[in-house]
Amino acid sequence: MVSKNKKLKKIKKLLYNRKINEALQIAGEDIGLLFHIGFLAFEKEDDEMAEKAFDRIIQCNPDIAEAWEGKGFSLANVGKYAEAVHCFDEVVKIDPDDTEGWFFRGILLQELDRYAEAVHCFDEVVKRESGNAEAWYNKGVALGNCGKHAEAVQCFDEIIKRDIHSAEAWCGKGVALEHLGEYEEAVHCFDEVVKIDPLHTDAWIKKGVVLGDLENHEEEIRCYDKALEIDPENVKAVLNKGVGLADLKKYEEAVSCFDEVLKRIPGNIEAWLIKGVVSDALGNHDEAVHCFDEALKVDCDNTLIWYSKGSSLANAGKYEEAVHCFDEVVKREPGNAEAWYNQGIQLQELEKYKDALHCFDEAVRIDPHHSGAWFNRGIVLGNLGEYTEEVHCYDAVLKIDPRDTDSLFNKGVVLASLGEVDEAVHFYDETLKIDPSHFGAWAAKGLALNDLENYDEAVHCFDEALKVDPGSAEAWSNRGIALGHLEKYEEAVTCYDKALEVDPDNVNAWVNRGVALWGWGEHEEAVHCLDEALKREPDDADLWFNKGVILGDCGRNDDAVRCYDEVLKRDPGNVIAWVNRGVALGRMGNLHRAVVCFDKALEIDPHDVKAWYGRGVALQDLGKYEEALICFDETIQRDSDYGKAWYSKGMVLAELGRHDEARKCVSEAAKRGFTVRK
């Protein structure tokens, strides 16, 4: 019979030659020899061999806890954590007081991200060994991973109570306090760590992170530098230093840090990602996109990278490409409201309003409190002509934030466009209560008050707008319009001069200056202003029309006719231009041509009162009294308060010898305030 020692020697030799099955055959069911095989396998770091040995013991006797433990370790060493957990289940089933079994079961459950179960295991340990620092530490870590940071702090305190010099406990407590937002306390913990162990690289890095949370970026960077003095190859410290430098807007230095990381680890996603963000902040959009593309080579499903690439492309004005990136995000994360929102913004820039609306709809469906999505949904609906719905969107924003001045202001603008001017003024006032320096609200309120013929108040609003932005040509111009309505023509002209100092090509300012000078009686200068406007916009029919009106008022009827010809070249259906052309021709004595103009006007609009009246006057001057009478009747039928038409009808009736009727017509004219000055 072979002695146990001889068997053991033979087994060692077989194991040396990796003949595990032969070794197991020699050991047979000898538990002692099988344990020897298992432990020798551990020494040789041969986990497969160890597992077989412990498995043979379990087959022989499934109630030996040490065998299950050995098998569990061998499985854990090769990353088979779930199977290893099963082994430690057996350990604690055999011996519920085996603290080592509970402890390692907890460690393995953490590897499987089963943190709540791990906490239970560490509880079983500290129930039996209240001074087990490792169990308290790992319980704290597991609680932190469950989001229970306050309870984690208590675990680390249990260690510190017993050992105030435990660097790892102070470090764990610092991490938990950071998660709780107690940054000053967290810094104190990391200070304790580096007091105990000045070479604790991880503590220096973690302290830097918390100082970053406190926006103390200079001190943050000093911590990373300290970590790099200890360990110059520490990639995390270099990466974090780059982030800290970026927070200080030292972008070029930050980029150098990320380049350093990428030299060492070319596939470091975080470095590519943050380098991309920093490059974008520097305005290097192409470089930023290159960085995001490099990151996507490593992980093409990373939505944060797709999102960042989309943002950078949007900043570069490449809206189509940006839309594609945000589309990649929502394909992978259909519930990402921010990605839907940003996709909508890019589609809005591309004037694809219906597609943008769909994106904003998705964003507010996912997050009904997304005020940006509601606001831009309103803008898009306005561009689609859905003004009532647009107002509802601004109302939705104001439910979320009643002090949102952009929504208050925009609501006012939309109401003004819908003719609800008084309501619009109310919302401009609400805007100004919150932001008394809101240029747009003062300027828009001024325009609304102009519409309401409250010109003095309008002037005050434009004054307030100009306090905010003295260089606004539009505000100067609109102030001039209000003053013109108040017949303060000289002041109005001064306003237009100010507008033209700021913007010499402001056509509206040239036109309105001309109108003010006309009102002031400076007709030639007024014509000059219209000419300046026409130099800049020679195809604007309205400018030609206004010039014609002023020339006609100056008595330059032939020039006026030429202006109306220019209008009609561009807008043949312009009734008023035909009427005014007829009036100018009539003044020149070209009565037949005048009648043709009035006929053209009436072809376009058979109900135009001025065309009927002008035709009547021309026919009256031609001595065609019966025809003229018909025209004045048509005029009065459409506007019974037209005093001049009543008077002209009276004159025609007098020419026809119908004096009683003539007197009645003149009386009707007088009732309506029309009298002939002698």
Q: Higher confidence at residue 43 or residue 187? A: 187
Global confidence as pTM = 0.77
Q: How far apart are CA 209 and CA 624, in angstroms?
A: 97
Quote helix, strand, coil % in the chain, to nearest 5.
80, 0, 20
Contact between 66 and 53 (Cβ < 8 Å): no
CA–CA gap between residue 609 and residue 83 (Å, rounded): 97
> 21-30, 445-454, 638-647: lowest mean pLDDT where?
21-30
Tens digit of each residue's pLDDT (9 = 90 or more) over 335-391: 999 999 999 999 999 999 999 999 999 999 999 999 999 999 999 999 999 999 999
50-73 mean pLDDT: 91
- Identify whether the C-beta of residue 49 lies closer than 8 Å to the C-beta of residue 20: yes
Measured from the Cβ of residue 106, the count of other Cβ atoms closer than 10 Å reads: 28
C-alpha 524 chain-centroid distance: 52
**Residue 486: in which H helix or E strand, if any?**
none
Mean pLDDT of 125-129: 96
Q: What is the pLDDT of residues 411-440, one digit of tens each?
A: 999 999 999 999 999 999 999 999 999 999
Do residues 330 and 339 touch, judged by C-beta distance below 8 A? yes
Alpha carbon 428 to its chain's center? 24
H/E stretch holding 318 reads: none
Rounded to whole angstroms, the Cα distance separating 424 from 410 reads 9
What pLDDT was estimated at residue 42? Answer: 82
Name the CA dihedral angle for 38, 42, 43, 46, rounded to a multiple of 10 degrees.
Answer: 100
Is pLDDT of 540 > 80?
Answer: yes
Residue 627, pLDDT > 60, answer: yes
Q: How far apart are CA 452 and CA 432, in angstroms?
A: 19
pLDDT higher than 60, residue 677: no
Query: Tokens 């991973």 — which residue?
Result: 145
Q: How far apart are CA 271 and CA 277, in angstroms?
A: 10
pLDDT in tens, 68-83: 999 999 999 999 999 9
Which has the closest alpha carbon to 61: 40, 35, 23, 39? Answer: 35
The answer to whether 144 touches 152, Cβ cutoff 8 Å, is yes
pLDDT at 27 over 70: no
* Residue range 464-488, pLDDT digits in tens: 999 999 999 999 999 999 999 999 9
Report the C-alpha gap between 556 and 562 in whole angstroms: 10
Residue 203 near residue 197, CB atoms below 8 Å = yes
* In contact, 545 and 521? CB cutoff 8 Å: no
**Domains plus CATH for the chain?**
607-678 (1.25.40.10)
Can you give the pLDDT at residue 86?
A: 96
Instruction: Express as a percent the part of the chain with pLDDT over 70.
Output: 96
Give every CB contact of residue 470 below 8 A, 6+ residues apart in sequence.
none
Determine the average pLDDT of the residues in 45-49. Answer: 83
Burial string for 63-98 (b: 16+ CB within 10 Å, else e) reads: ebbbbbbbbbbbbbbeebbebbbbbbebbbebbeeb
Element (H, E) at 586: helix 575-587
Contact yes or no for 380/360 (Cβ under 8 A): yes
Measure Cα distances from 427 to 81, 386, 400, 582 in Å: 64, 20, 17, 45
* pLDDT score, position 34: 77
Instruction: Give the model's pLDDT for residue 678.
Output: 45
Q: Which residue has the tokens 């002939």?
A: 676
Q: What is the pLDDT of residue 1?
A: 41
Mean pLDDT of the 204-227 span: 97
Backbone CA torsion sign across 28, 32, 34, 40: negative
Q: What is the pLDDT of residue 48?
A: 84
| 169 in Cβ contact with 156 (< 8 Å) | yes
Name the residue among 659, 584, 647 with its Cα closest to residue 614: 584
Q: Give the list of residues 6+ apart from residue 207 with CB closer than 8 angstroms, or none.
A: 174, 187, 190, 191, 194, 223
Task: Give the span between the Cα atoms of 618 and 616, in whole angstroms.
Answer: 6
Q: How far is Cα of residue 600 from the mean position of the Cα atoms in its chain?
A: 54
The pLDDT value recorded for residue 23 is 65
For all residues of the chain together, what is the average pLDDT? Answer: 94
The band of 35, judged by pLDDT with boundaries at 50, 70 and 90, is confident
Please report the sign of the dihedral spanned by the C-alpha atoms of residue 672, residue 676, residue 677, residue 678. negative
* pLDDT of amino acid 675: 75
Higher pLDDT, 40 or 167: 167
